């Protein structure tokens, strides 16, 4: 019975692959990133829906505050991809812990990225850099993605 429950719990985890790559400048990489609904790049970003990602990382120092700084590159242009409201306050979205963080603390962060219905249908790379109160990277990764229409949009 316990083996069956364990198998049921592990199968969804095995279905998700780490679909990211490291950032430049040797910034710390997360130990794992799971993007709901994405098992291989490019990940689909469905217009009008939120993308949810779970980012596991280990701090290499004490951290009092963190901010999520996304940057998008599409069609050769790189631009900030600001998160609305309090979504950029990383500390508000930690699971099982809170800021301040201790050195070598294992952290899971639930990232929500709204994909507005007005976004163009385009392929892009999104860099997610989580920075501390001093502007230094705590963890960083890049994901290749494409904005796709919602099912109701594709009928137009």
**pLDDT tens digits for range 22-69:** 999 999 999 999 999 999 999 999 999 999 999 999 999 999 999 999
Buried b (16+ CB within 10 A) or exposed e, 19-48: bbeebeeebbbbeebbbeebeebbbebbbe
**Omega into 42 within 30° of 0, i.e. cis?**
yes
**pLDDT tens digits for range 109-139:** 999 999 999 999 999 999 999 999 999 999 9
Could you tell me the fold of the domain covering 20-148?
Immunoglobulin-like (2.60.40)
Domain boundaries, the chain: 20-148
Q: Are 113 and 83 in contact (CB under 8 A)?
A: yes
Distance CA(52)–CA(64), nearest Å, equals 24
Q: Is the pTM of this model over 0.95?
A: no
């Amino acid at each position: 019975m316990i083996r069956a429950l364990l198998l049921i719990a592990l199968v969804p985890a095995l279905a998700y692959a780490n679909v990211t790559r490291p950032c430049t400048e040797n910034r710390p990489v997360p130990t794992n990133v799971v993007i709901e609904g994405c098992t291989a790049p490019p990940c689909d970003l469905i217009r009008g829906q939120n993308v949810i990602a779970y980012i596991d990382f280990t701090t290499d120092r004490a951290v009092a505050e963190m901010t999520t700084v996304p940057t998008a590159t599409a069609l050769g242009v790189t631009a900030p991809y600001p998160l609305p409201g309090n979504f950029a306050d990383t500390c508000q979205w930690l699971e099982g812990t809170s800021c301040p963080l201790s050195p070598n603390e294992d952290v899971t962060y639930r990232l929500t990225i709204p994909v507005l219905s007005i976004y163009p249908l385009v392929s892009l790379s999104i860099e997610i850099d989580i920075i501390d109160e001093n502007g230094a990277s705590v963890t960083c990764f890049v994901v290749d993605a494409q904005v796709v229409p919602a099912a109701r949009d594709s009928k137009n």
